[in-house]
């Protein structure tokens, strides 16, 4: 019995719920939103969908107690109206930090002991707060983090060289925000180092890094929200937990040397973060990671 909870039914949460139902991933789906009317609307839209699917999903609305035996909770709450077109995901910080206090206590009271995947922004800060306040182990809590930004890097590089982005490997690390960076030393195209390809093709890696960083704002400027790519990231991580896939990917994970969550390579399975995949970075890349961690730490400090 695969049971999943989604807390926050905005554009992202609703897209996740729709995908979980239409792909038959969840046998039971708990839907929760602070707006009761929105929760009911999403519930019945999904119930009407089930009649035309080959699978059935039991939908449980607005019931935190039902999360007790859930395998995964996905948190996607937020206040998108607080985000400005300046590239700063910290626009939601104060609002979401207050929501954490309420949501975390309710999750804790439910007795939930599965894996929590956070999407809510600023992702690394909110993931840190959720883990602290719910009291789950650091392995049981993770954020989507730079999993999405890495996909945007793959898209940017793929477009530049007319290559399927799935053939591009490597990591974007650090904050899911403006201090993120592409660790080019980790990036390969069908097994060839990006430096080799860049030299042959005349690629500007700094420009490609910028395209990856600004990818979300390109979407946001036209739609005033993003949903498909981040929902896909959350679904892939959820499947990795449900199937104990030991998926190697960058997520927002807890690093002891920083004492908070940050985008870094990890391995995801049934218990959550199976391991933090330590990698060798260049001196310049390590400095960028340290700087990004400092940005996250400073924002956490403003909440104390």
What residues are designated binding site for NAD(+)?
8-13, 33, 96, 119-121
CA 141 to centroid of chain Cα atoms: 11
Beta strands 168-173 and 72-75 are unpaired
Closest-CA residue to 245 (of 223, 268, 265, 226): 268
Beta strands 72-75 and 58-61 are unpaired
Closest-CA residue to 78 (of 50, 64, 105, 97): 97
Q: Report cis status (omega within 30 of 0) of the bond before 122.
A: yes
Closest-CA residue to 172 (of 223, 210, 118): 210
* Positions marked catalytic: 176
Could you give phi then psi for residue 64, rounded to 5 degrees? -60, -35
| CA dist., res. 142 & res. 3, Å (int) | 18
């Amino acid at each position: 019995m695969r049971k999943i909870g989604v807390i926050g039914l905005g554009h992202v949460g609703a897209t996740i719920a729709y995908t979980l139902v239409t792909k038959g991933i969840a046998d039971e789906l708990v839907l929760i939103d602070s707006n009761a009317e929105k929760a009911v609307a999403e519930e019945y839209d999904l119930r009407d969908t089930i009649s035309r699917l080959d699978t059935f999903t039991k939908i449980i609305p607005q019931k935190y107690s039902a999360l007790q035996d859930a395998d995964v909770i996905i948190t996607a709450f937020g206040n998108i109206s607080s985000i400005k077109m300046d590239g700063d995901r910290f626009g939601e910080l104060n609002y979401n930090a207050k929501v954490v206090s309420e949501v975390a206590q309710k999750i804790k009271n439910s007795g939930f002991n599965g894996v929590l995947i956070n999407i809510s922004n600023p992702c690394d800060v909110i993931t840190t707060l959720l883990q602290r306040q719910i009291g789950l182990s650091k392995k049981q809590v993770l954020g989507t983090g730079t999993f999405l930004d890495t996909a945007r890097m793959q898209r940017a590089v793929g477009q530049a060289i007319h290559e399927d982005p799935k053939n591009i490997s490597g990591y974007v690390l650090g904050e899911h925000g403006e201090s993120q960076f592409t660790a080019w030393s980790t990036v390969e195209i069908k097994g060839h180092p990006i430096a080799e390809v860049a030299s042959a093709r005349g690629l500007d890696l700094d420009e490609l890094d910028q395209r990856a960083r600004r990818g979300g704002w390109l979407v946001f400027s036209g739609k005033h929200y993003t949903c498909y790519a981040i929902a896909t990231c959350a679904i892939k991580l959820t499947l990795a937990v449900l199937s104990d896939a030991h998926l190697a990917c960058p997520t927002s994970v807890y690093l002891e040397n920083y004492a908070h969550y940050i985008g870094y390579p990890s391995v995801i399975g049934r218990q959550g973060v199976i391991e933090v995949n330590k990698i060798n970075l260049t001196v310049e890349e390590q400095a960028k990671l340290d700087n990004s961690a400092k940005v996250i730490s400073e924002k956490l400090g403003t909440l104390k």
